[in-house]
């Protein structure tokens, strides 16, 4: 069967129109003519008859087997337009349009945080990312996504898996680049005993890891894993949210700063460990609100130890169950809001009843962003512009900052 790819799905699969509906073909691009065997709604054993002008040679040698990246076969220009289209399409679904600023994309080999799958084997350990649509682990020693410091941590991670991994179950290792060494969090490892804890501590020391957290328990702390946010240094709790790349974080911060302008009093909602609150405190008073107490504690400590910041206050509060009320925004010049993928439906509705003149909305989900944008616009705000940030290179994931004002 021969088909022509018409568009891409939300996970990057090519979609063609068949006699009974959509046909999905992975790794394809719009305009490509593909021939293969129809199996249900997928084309199997396919080959490209006519390639797209946007098709390029994948920059990574692992691209054919690894499922960590899905768009390495497409040109950078195509991926940028596609990601802009994802956000535009989400807004259009709510009947909205916007002015878009040029997309900002993180460079290759810049991911400073990743979750690695691993299994103990007869000869040692197998680590990497899952193959596409599979639980098979693919070794990725030449990964073009990860920062070199993360690749350099692989021997130490392998040593951890050899000690505490299983040959029957998978171990998950979340490794984060910090100023003081890799911050490693392991789940699915063997149950801790004193002997294992001692050996894990020795590996942590030998490989220069800053911290090792094992099945939720910190078992070794060589030095606090520090992150810099403006003038402040923060040691996030294990597993705390951190932007995927330093370049992506800088792009988001630059866009947020542009959105709020000369605001002197800012409320930062879903503040995390201070990604925005602490740099913005160099020029404005900031009230940071976050649902996780460990993160607000880390943020406050970072603010207290930094020099040259304006007043920073923190509040631990579940903004889904108890959003800030209109009177709590009295005197606030701008709100920065960076919710998780679910968005901030309840808090956005309250904001429409406030007197806040400017909102910098940060989102990692175009669908919930568009839903919340419709709420703000219906409540009297204007969507001034949208800045798309691609820090999850070669994936379908999109980040953005949008400015709302009234």
> What's the helix, strand, coil split of the chain in %, to 5?
25, 35, 40
| Cα separation, 141 vs 152, whole angstroms | 9
- Using alpha carbons, list the distances in angstroms from residue 41 to 19, 95, 304, 402: 10, 30, 57, 37
Sorted by sequence, the CB contacts under 8 Å of residue 42 that are 6+ apart come out as: 23, 24, 25
Q: In degrees rounded to 5, what are phi and psi of residue 20?
A: -120, 20
Q: Which two tokens stand for residue 164?
A: 């505490």
| Cα separation, 160 vs 174, whole angstroms | 12
Q: Burial level of 71, CB count in 10 A (0-12/13-18/19+)?
A: buried
Q: In degrees rounded to 5, what are phi and psi of residue 177?
A: -75, 125
| Cα separation, 366 vs 89, whole angstroms | 9
| 69 catalytic residue (yes or no) | no
Instruction: Give the pairing of strands 100-105 and 312-316.
Output: unpaired
Sorted by sequence, the CB contacts under 8 Å of residue 96 that are 6+ apart come out as: 370, 373, 374, 377, 383
Active-site residue, from 66, 69, 143, 364: 364
The single residue listed with the structure tokens 């957290």 is: 213
End-to-end CA separation in angstroms for the chain: 55
CB atoms under 10 Å from CB of 168, counted, come to: 7
What residues are annotated to the active site?
Answer: 364
């Amino acid at each position: 069967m021969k088909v022509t790819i018409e568009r891409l799905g939300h996970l990057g699969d090519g979609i063609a129109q068949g006699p009974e509906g959509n046909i999905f073909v992975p790794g394809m691009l719009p305009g490509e003519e593909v021939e293969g065997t129809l199996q249900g709604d997928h084309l199997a054993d396919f080959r490209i008859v006519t390639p797209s002008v946007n098709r390029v040679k994948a920059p990574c040698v692992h691209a054919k087997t690894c499922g960590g990246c899905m768009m390495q076969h497409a040109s950078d220009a195509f991926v940028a337009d596609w990601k802009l289209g994802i956000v535009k399409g989400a807004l259009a679904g709510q009947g909205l349009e916007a002015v878009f600023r040029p997309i900002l994309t993180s460079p290759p080999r810049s991911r400073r945080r990743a979750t690695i799958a691993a299994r103990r084997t007869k000869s040692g350990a197998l680590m990497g990312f899952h193959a596409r649509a599979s639980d098979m682990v693919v070794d990725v020693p030449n990964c073009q996504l990860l920062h070199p410091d993360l690749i350099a941590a692989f021997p130490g991670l392998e040593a951890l898996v050899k000690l505490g991994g299983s040959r029957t179950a998978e171990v998950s290792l979340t490794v984060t680049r910090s100023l003081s060494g890799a911050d490693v969090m392991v789940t699915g490892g063997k149950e801790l005993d004193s002997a294992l804890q001692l050996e894990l501590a020795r590996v942590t020391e030998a490989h220069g890891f800053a911290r090792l957290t094992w099945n939720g328990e910190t078992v070794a702390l060589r030095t606090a894993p520090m992150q810099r946010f403006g003038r402040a240094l923060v040691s996030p709790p294990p597993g705390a949210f951190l932007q995927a790349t330093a370049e992506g974080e800088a792009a988001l911060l630059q866009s947020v700063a542009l959105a709020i302008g000369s605001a002197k009093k800012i409320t930062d909602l879903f503040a995390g460990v201070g990604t925005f609150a602490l740099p913005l405190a160099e020029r404005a008073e900031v009230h940071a609100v976050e649902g996780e107490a460990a993160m607000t504690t880390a943020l406050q400590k970072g603010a207290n130890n930094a020099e040259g910041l304006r007043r920073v206050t923190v509040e631990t509060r579940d903004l889904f169950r108890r959003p800030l009320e209109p009177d709590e925004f009295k005197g606030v010049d701008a709100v920065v809001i960076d919710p998780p993928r679910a968005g901030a439906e309840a808090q956005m509705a309250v904001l429409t009843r406030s007197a806040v003149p400017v909102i910098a909305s940060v989102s990692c989900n175009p669908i919930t962003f568009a839903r919340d944008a419709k709420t703000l616009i219906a409540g009297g705000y204007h969507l001034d512009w949208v800045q798309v940030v691609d820090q999850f290179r070669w994936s379908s994931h999109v980040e953005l900052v949008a400015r709302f004002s009234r």
